[in-house]
Amino acid sequence: MLDLLQGSINFLTEFYLLMSNTNRRQLFNGSSKEIRSVLEKISRYLITLNKKKVYMLRWKEIAESLPEEYKAVFLIKHESQKIKNADIGILLTSDDGSLKGFLIDNNKKVVKLESRLAWIYLVEKTLFVPDLPDEELEPTVLDFLERLAFFDDKLQRLTAWMIQSGKGLYHLDFYITGIVSRSLSLIHGFDTLLRSRNYLSALHLVRPHLDNFMRLHAAWLCSDPHDFAFKVWKGEQVTSIKDRDGKLLKDWYLKQKVSELHPWIENVYNETSGFIHFSNKHIAGAVNTKGENISACVSKNDNNVSNKDKLETIMCMIEITNCIADHIFGWVSTKRDKG
């Protein structure tokens, strides 16, 4: 009887999937209350199933492939495990190359490969704009937004691991917690604005997000990161504090130092700073020029914004978040190793 019932559910689900959205609405509106209830349950089931499939598509099974050594990854034991409960660690190989395992906790705790089902990198990789006509890039824009939004779960879990790693809490832990909170707020705002076709406002958030990474790296430049973090916590301006070389941590100096790590940052800094104050970039967003014809558009929504431009901006947000996540994991590793 149960097999028959499950078979009926499977048949109805497959039938429902084959229908167009218009036919689904017609079926729903022309059905009895009982049938509508069944259709609503099927819809909810499909939404849940799709979310699970998308979630698991992000992960790579350990039996099929392994991550690069020493690159931070999240690890789960089973498909239903959420990233908020995942381990985070690195792949290690014994000196003779015969054994592999994941270092996941304090005291150099290493677990066997077979003890975990799947892994996913902490940072997002393989970022590029496909060579396609602009109108065909819309799905890629949505995919990149999802990858950016996934950092909400990643950074929250990473921060939790930071707090519980080592033998105690430091001022730097609380400083980083503030950085992460601001980052997640900016990412959410960026996502919301871009989806509501307000690219210009979304673009404004790239610069403060870059500021997050610059101010995070500032702690790495000081001889005593914890004293630096405590001073900022108490209200002292970052720009009034000196690094280990006696240099004031001004924005231009921080830009220079982070650009030494990632050369692309200097260009992003300069370009996004141009959106803070009114400039030719804002005029270009409102005025269309084609040959000798000029037209203007006054609107709160996007005008003259290509999917390629959107993708490049999302990639900037992702890469900045990668830098933040990588720095934080470095601190987690230090706490695990030294307490």
The string of DSSP letters for 20-86 reads: -HHHHHHHHHTS-HHHHHHHHHHHHHHHHHHHHHHHHHT-EETTT--PPBT--EEEESSTT--GGG-
Mean pLDDT (whole number) for 290-318: 79
Could you tell me how far CA 284 lies from the centroid of its own chain?
A: 29
Q: Residue-wise over 144-183: b if at least 16 C-beta within 10 A, else e? A: bbebbebbeebbebbbebbeebbeeebbbbbbbeebbeeb
Look at the chain and count its residues: 339
Task: Give CA torsion, residues 265, 268, 273, 278, to 10 deg.
Answer: 180
Task: Please check whether residue 275 is in contact with residue 313, taking contact to mean a CB–CB distance below 8 angstroms.
Answer: no
What is the mean pLDDT of the segment spanning 3-12?
Answer: 49
109 strand-pairing partners? 105
pLDDT category at 204 given cuts 50, 70, 90 is very high
Q: For the packed helices 206-221 and 225-233, what is the interaxial angle rounded to 10 degrees?
A: 130
- pLDDT at residue 130 in the model: 85
* pLDDT greater than 50 at residue 4: no
What is the model's pLDDT at position 49?
47
Residue 319 burial (CB count, 10 A)? 19
Mean pLDDT of 42-53: 52
pTM of the model: 0.80
Predicted confidence at residue 297, as pLDDT, reads 62
> Which one, of 314, 122, 286, 109, lies nearest residue 203 by Cα?
314
The least confident of 79-83, 94-98, 145-149, 290-294 is 290-294
Name the amino acid, one letter, at 180.
V
What's at 293, amino acid-wise?
N
When the pLDDT of each residue in the chain is averaged and rounded to a whole number, the result is 84
The three-state secondary structure class of 2 is helix
Q: Is the pLDDT of residue 306 over 60?
A: yes
Residue located via tokens 């409102």? 286
- Tell me if 179 sits within 8 A of 212, measured CB to CB: yes
Residue 14 has pLDDT above 80, yes or no: no
